[in-house]
Amino acid sequence: MARDEELKKRWNTLVEKLSSRFADGASLDLDGIIYLIGVQELGQLHRGFKKDEKLNLMHIAICRLLAPYGYYDLDYVDEDGWPHYQIKAKLPNLKAGEQSVLMKEAIVNYFLEQKFIS
């Protein structure tokens, strides 16, 4: 199977699985999945978050997702349990579609690593 076809198949499986578990069957979008990863990475699963914290959770997720690609590195975790990343390499200028593919690939790889999908 071609790489793009495999990514699409895994992405659709992941969206379906996460949507049924966290969105009462409504289809989660890319931002929703990034938010869930941020919550997972923070490890504070059973609490509400303020608007600025939600943005920070998405930032945590993006850093975590792009760390294997060499763009970020975990620097430290603060006293409240929030991870902080440092930039290792500047992100390339990508078109919107290319950004979406990169993030979907990173998300699929994250959930493969977590053994949530295969």
Split at pLDDT 50, 70, 90, the class of 45 is confident
Residue keyed to tokens 């009462």: 24
- Averaged pLDDT score across all residues of the chain: 94
Give SS3 for 73: strand
**Domain spans, the chain:** 3-15+29-113
Q: Say how far apart CA 55 and CA 60 lie, in whole Å.
A: 9
| Whole-number pLDDT of residue 1 | 53
